[in-house]
């Protein structure tokens, strides 16, 4: 196994421990022993995840004039998955170890023996990755359906509805975020590979012949989004799929890979899906999903460029990328240098002395004044040094400390998480001060 420290300088166990201790991510139904590779997002984790989703939506929808949004249902008519090819081909070949009983994907094995114990392996068997359930409450009449393994098909089957209702002209895109489910054979590496996860996907419809130009555009655009939120460019790379690796529908595909503790792994995929999906749905459903260009009189099936990222993987990557461990004044200091737009809490208001009612009252008033604009927390449960360390560890960009002098001069101490620098700011100027520091609109 790869030595995590030699890969990216951060061990996955440190991230997992921090996430549980500080309320980012918990093992699902832990009191009953949990369920493999299913995770719950705690009070801080849900805020980080929401902030990340909001930034994606802002960049992909609000800041563009060529993208609409959609929230399609998880359950779909099973014919959808026949048309998409998932029923026939969405499977992995697997083998089991005859000795330790562990299961492995064939394409991940280097030899013909178990990589864990050296035991013999069974013959490969096909393993469908979709979860099956039933719709209908009367026994014998229920219909088999699937929990969606991707969100993209909800966009394709709604192409005609969106085109007619929005009056869009090509090129245009449809953005969606939502849950997907895959009955993964091999899971692990914390939240990297989960059975229940969230995706952020865009299907961008273009005229055939213009697809190569748009494909290159979305490669640049998606890389820029990660770095614009503070991710280290050196920890990102683009890897193109070779012909043998390409999905059956793809003309080209690149993965945006991040340097996780276990090595370079997929963070997001950008694919040129050609006209495969719309043509297959037209064929199976009998609906004509072509585009008519009334300015030229042309009729054609659009090509699709698809940037598709995992929200859970992005959360994990930003946590790893922002993790800092250093020694300050002979004490270990752990911090998350998250971009302020992603940080779960923006400001912590801390009274220096909790036994002084006038200091506590002033601190709570400041919290009340700021919380309409920012996610603000009040904390008086430890010494000021420990409170600072606590906020550093969860990535809070600024701490506001109310001390004895604040009662007399009306000023508070604002501490910056990354520099640990401090400055005195008038209470009446705090809103303007943070507006200049954090543009969250």
Q: How many CA atoms within 13 Å lie on the side-chain side of 188?
A: 6
CB 96, CB 121: distance < 8 Å? yes
Rounded Cα gap, residues 338 and 50, in angstroms: 14
pLDDT at 146: 87
Strands 131-135 and 143-147: antiparallel
CB 184, CB 193: distance < 8 Å? yes
Rounded Cα gap, residues 253 and 247, in angstroms: 8
CB 431, CB 370: distance < 8 Å? yes
Distances (CA, A) of 242 to 121, 245, 257, 267: 29, 5, 15, 18
pLDDT at 56: 97
**Structure token digits, residue 183:** 């009955």
Classify each residue of 307-339 as buried b or exposed e, where b means 16 or more C-beta atoms within 10 Å of its C-beta: bbbbbbbbbbbbbbbbbeeeeeeeeeeebbebb
**Structure token digits, residue 158:** 């709604």
CATH topology of domain 345-437: Rossmann fold (3.40.50)
Give the pLDDT of the chain (441 residues) as one tens digit per residue: 334 444 567 889 999 999 999 999 999 998 888 888 899 999 999 999 999 999 999 999 999 999 999 999 999 888 898 888 877 665 567 787 888 877 777 767 777 888 888 888 887 776 668 888 888 866 666 788 888 998 999 999 999 999 999 989 999 999 999 999 988 766 668 888 888 999 999 999 999 999 999 999 999 999 999 999 999 999 999 999 998 888 888 999 999 999 999 899 999 999 999 999 999 999 999 999 999 998 899 999 999 999 999 999 999 999 999 999 888 888 888 999 999 999 999 999 999 998 899 999 999 999 999 998 899 999 999 999 999 999 999 999 999 999 999 999 999 999 999 999 999 999 999 999 999 998 754
Rounded Cα gap, residues 251 and 271, in angstroms: 8
Partners of 291 in the beta sheet? 300
Distances (CA, A) of 86 to 61, 73, 146, 392: 28, 17, 10, 45
Partners of 165 in the beta sheet? none
pLDDT at 185: 64
pLDDT at 102: 78
Closest CA to 175 of 252, 72, 76, 255: 72
Strands 376-378 and 347-351: parallel
Domain residue extents for the chain = 4-76+149-319, 91-128, 345-437
Distances (CA, A) of 164 to 92, 205, 291, 301, 435: 38, 14, 10, 15, 41
Which residues lie closer than 8 Å to 218 by C-beta, 6 or more apart?
202, 204, 270, 305, 307
**Structure token digits, residue 150:** 């991707």
pTM for this prediction: 0.88
> Which CATH superfamily does the domain covering 4-76+149-319 fall into?
Bira Bifunctional Protein; Domain 2 (3.30.930.10)
Closest CA to 294 of 170, 402, 419: 170
Closest CA to 301 of 290, 286, 292, 288: 290
pLDDT at 139: 67
């Amino acid at each position: 196994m790869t030595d995590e420290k030699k890969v990216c300088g951060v061990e996955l166990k440190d991230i997992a421990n921090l996430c549980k201790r500080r309320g980012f991510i918990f093992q699902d139904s832990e009191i009953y022993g949990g369920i493999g590779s299913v995770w719950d997002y705690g009070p801080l984790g849900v805020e980080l995840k929401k902030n990340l989703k909001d930034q994606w939506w802002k960049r992909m929808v609000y800041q563009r004039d060529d993208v609409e949004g959609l929230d399609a249902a998880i359950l779909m008519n099973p014919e959808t998955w026949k048309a998409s090819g998932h029923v026939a081909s969405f499977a992995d070949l697997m083998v089991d170890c005859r000795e330790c009983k562990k299961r492995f994907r064939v394409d991940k094995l280097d030899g013909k023996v178990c990589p864990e114990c050296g035991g013999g392996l069974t013959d490969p068997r096909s393993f469908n990755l979709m979860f099956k359930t039933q719709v209908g409450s009367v026994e014998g009449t229920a219909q088999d359906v699937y929990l969606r393994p991707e969100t993209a098909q909800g966009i394709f089957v709604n192409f005609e509805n969106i085109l007619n209702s929005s009056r869009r002209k090509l090129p245009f895109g449809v953005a969606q975020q939502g849950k997907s489910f895959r009955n993964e054979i091999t899971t692990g590496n914390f939240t990297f590979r989960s059975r229940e996860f969230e995706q952020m996907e865009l299907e961008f419809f273009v005229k055939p012949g213009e697809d190569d130009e748009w494909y290159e555009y979305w490669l640049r655009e998606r890389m820029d989004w990660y770095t614009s939120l503070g991710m280290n460019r050196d920890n990102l790379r683009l890897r193109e799929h070779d012909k043998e690796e390409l999905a059956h529908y793809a003309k080209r595909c690149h993965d945006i890979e991040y340097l996780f503790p276990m090595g370079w792994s997929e963070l997001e995929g950008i694919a040129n899906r050609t006209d495969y999906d719309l043509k297959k749905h037209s064929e199976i459903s009998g609906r004509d999903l072509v585009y008519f260009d009334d300015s030229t009189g042309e009729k054609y099936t659009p090509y699709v460029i698809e940037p598709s990222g995992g929200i859970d993987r992005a959360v994990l990557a930003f946590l790893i990328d922002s993790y800092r461990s250093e020694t300050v004044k002979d004490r270990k200091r752990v911090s998350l240098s998250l971009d302020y737009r992603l940080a779960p809490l923006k400001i912590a208001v801390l009274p220096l002395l909790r036994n002084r009612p006038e200091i506590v009252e002033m601190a709570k008033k400041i919290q009340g004044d700021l919380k309409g604009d920012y996610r603000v927390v009040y904390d008086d449960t430890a010494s000021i040094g420990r409170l600072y360390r606590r906020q550093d560890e969860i990535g809070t960009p600024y701490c506001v400390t109310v001390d004895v002098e604040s009662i007399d001069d009306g000023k508070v101490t604002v501490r910056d998480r990354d520099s640990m620098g401090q400055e005195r700011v008038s209470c009446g100027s705090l809103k303007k001060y943070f507006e200049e520091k954090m543009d969250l609109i």
